[in-house]
């Protein structure tokens, strides 16, 4: 069965600092992996996804993630945090039944 | 492109009444849609998967008689919370599959408060 874990339910960074949000997955099949962002009382917006091919995936708003099969990881990074990046971030994996399972989420705070 | 419009964005209802939430795919045909529930400061929990023209598949522990899902067309799926109770208060989000390798798109969510 597929599952997703996100280390750190809350991450705080200073404005301009590196953002690193961790995601590890388990999957019995080649995974499709996603990162979504959610602002309060809103739906989810796709930041980026990995399906096949290049393991370094670039997304919107300067975010990128690297798929590392050996580490079963798909960590999300951004070189320089902006205040507008403060939100909830969810890592997700597509299951073999075409469903998406979400990790528990990481709340990102950006300190001015 | 690939927008899912979800309505209403928020609703307050009295205990015992039913509430319908709609999700429409605006510029594509959504063969498969998913309904999620999200409690405050928690992740999204999949409730059910609906395929156009067939019965929804519910996740374990989800009451199918309480959460009625209809996917009668390729552009519309509805979730009806029947005989709502305060414990049904939550944030409900729909999602549509964009096809193999193309990911998913999400509605903006519905905040349901049962009083």
B3 in helix, strand or coil?
coil
User: Which tens digits make up the pLDDT trace of B2-34?
Assistant: 889 999 999 999 999 999 999 999 988 888 999
Please report the sign of the dihedral spanned by the C-alpha atoms of residue B23, residue B24, residue B27, residue B33.
Answer: positive
Residue among B109, B108, B105 nearest B27 (CA):
B105
Residue among B30, B27, B16, B13 nearest B92 (CA):
B13
How many angstroms separate the CA atoms of B77 and B55, rounded? Answer: 12
| Subunit contact A90:B103, Cβ cutoff 8 A | no
Pair B57, A99: CB distance under 8 Å: no
Looking at residue B10, its pLDDT comes to 95
How many C-beta neighbours within 10 Å does residue A7 have?
14
> How far is the alpha carbon of A30 from chain B, nearest alpha carbon, in Å?
12
The beta strand positions in B26-115, using DSSP E, are: 32-38, 44-51, 57-58, 67-73, 76-81, 90-97, 104-106, 110-114
| Helix extents (H) in chain A | none
User: Which tens digits make up the pLDDT trace of B61-108?
Assistant: 999 999 999 998 889 999 999 999 999 999 999 999 887 767 888 999
How many angstroms separate the CA atoms of B38 and B32, rounded? Answer: 20
> What residues in A contact B97, CB-CB < 8 Å?
98
> What residues in B contact A44, CB-CB < 8 Å?
44, 93, 95, 106
User: Which tens digits make up the pLDDT trace of A46-101?
Assistant: 999 998 888 999 999 999 999 999 999 999 999 999 999 999 999 999 887 778 88
Interface of B with A in 3-42 (CB under 8 A): 6, 32, 34, 41-42
- Furthest C-alpha separation in chain B: 42
Provide the mean pLDDT of chain B. 92
| 8-state DSSP, B99 | -
> What residues in A contact B44, CB-CB < 8 Å?
44, 90, 102
3-state secondary structure chain A: CCEEECCCCEEEEECCCCEEECCEEECCCCCEEEEEEECCCCCEEEEEEECCCCCEEECHHHCEEEEEHHHCEEEEEECCCCHHHCEEEEEEEECCCCCEEECCCEEEEEEC
């Amino acid at each position: 069965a597929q599952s997703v874990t996100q280390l750190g339910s809350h991450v705080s960074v200073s404005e301009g600092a590196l953002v690193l949000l961790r995601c590890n997955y388990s999957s019995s099949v080649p995974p499709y992996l996603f990162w979504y962002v959610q602002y309060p009382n809103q739906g989810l917006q796709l930041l980026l996804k990995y399906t096949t091919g290049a393991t370094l995936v670039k997304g919107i708003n300067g975010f990128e993630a690297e798929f590392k099969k050996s580490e079963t990881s798909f960590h999300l990074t951004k070189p320089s945090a902006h205040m507008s990046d403060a939100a909830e971030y969810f890592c997700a994996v597509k299951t073999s039944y075409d469903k998406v399972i979400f990790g528990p989420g990481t709340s990102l705070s950006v300190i001015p | 492109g690939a927008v899912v419009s979800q309505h209403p964005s928020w609703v307050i209802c009295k205990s015992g009444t039913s509430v319908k939430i709609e999700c429409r795919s605006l510029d594509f045909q959504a063969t498969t849609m998913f309904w999620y529930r999200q409690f405050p400061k928690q992740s999204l929990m999949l409730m059910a998967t609906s395929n156009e023209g067939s019965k929804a598949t519910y996740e374990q522990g989800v009451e199918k008689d309480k959460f009625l899902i209809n996917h009668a067309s390729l552009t519309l799926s509805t979730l009806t919370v029947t005989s709502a109770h305060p414990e049904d208060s939550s944030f409900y989000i729909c999602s549509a599959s964009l096809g193999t390798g193309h990911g998913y798109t999400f509605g903006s969510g519905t905040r349901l408060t049962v009083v």
